[in-house]
Amino acid sequence: MKIPVYSQEGKELNQTLLPKDIFDVKANPDLIHQVAISQMANRRKVIAHTKMRSEVSGGGKKPWRQKGTGRARHGSTRSPIWRHGGIAFGPRKERVFKKKINRKMKRKALFMVLSAKAKNNLLFVLDTLDVKEAKTKLMAEILSKLPIKGTVLIALPKFDKNVFQAAGNLPRVEAMEARNLNVLDLLSFKYLIIPKESIKVIKENFLD
């Protein structure tokens, strides 16, 4: 598949041939969904954590004697039926949400999403992406010259501090290294922008 190559000024320079094994893969929505769900689960942080009766403070002494008071029998104020007592069956940090997905499945799904971006004209290849200073204004000017309208993911061939910082303050733009591309991030952004060198990096990292 051939795709136009743009300059930073938004001019179409020439065309480049995309690797068929990566950018011309038939989509399988079920596989993409499965991989995306697994990545969401693996990124999930377990925040909610309640204390059981053995973890709450106090309650070492029996509230009142066993018999003769006319009240119900109680052995500890840490019981779940007491106010400020332990929580029965509450959420715990020990919960594991991780889902395992085979490496081949993840790569196949990644190629499917990349192929969909290319076929739907949501993939833009730049000849180079060179930001002289880490200024948001410079990155905004580059993006304004391209025919895009929506969220943008920029996949760089290697870490570029200026690009990362310049894109960091733009609300609907994110930069990452091409070797870290994944299904969930690609689905989260409408457009994908890659410098020409990134195609080689994707081939080296994701093709066996």
- What's the chain's average pLDDT? 94
Provide the percentage of residues in the chain whose pLDDT is more than 90.
90
pLDDT for 176 beyond 90 = yes
Q: What pTM, to 2 d.p., does this model score? A: 0.84
Q: What is residue 93's predicted lDDT score, i.e. its pLDDT?
A: 92
Q: What is residue 58's predicted lDDT score, i.e. its pLDDT?
A: 87
Beta strands in 34-188 (DSSP E): 123-126, 152-156, 173-177
Write down the CATH number for the domain with range 2-44+97-206. 3.40.1370.10
Mean pLDDT, residues 48-66 taken together: 93
Mean pLDDT, residues 115-129 taken together: 95
Q: Which helix (H) or strand (E) holds 3?
A: strand 2-6
Mean pLDDT, residues 147-161 taken together: 94
Partners of residue 17 on adjacent β-strands: 2
Instruction: Please write the tens of the pLDDT for every residue from 32-46.
Output: 999 999 999 999 999
* Helices and strands (H, E) in the chain, number of each type: 7, 6
Listed by start position, the domains of the chain span: 2-44+97-206, 46-96
CA dihedral 115, 119, 120, 122 (to 10 degrees): 60
Strands 123-126 and 173-177 come out as unpaired
Residue 40 tokens read as 């969401």
Sheet holding 173-177, edge to edge: 12-17, 2-6, 123-126, 191-195, 152-156, 173-177
Instruction: Please write the tens of the pLDDT for every residue from 76-92.
Output: 999 999 999 999 999 99
Strands 123-126 and 191-195 come out as parallel
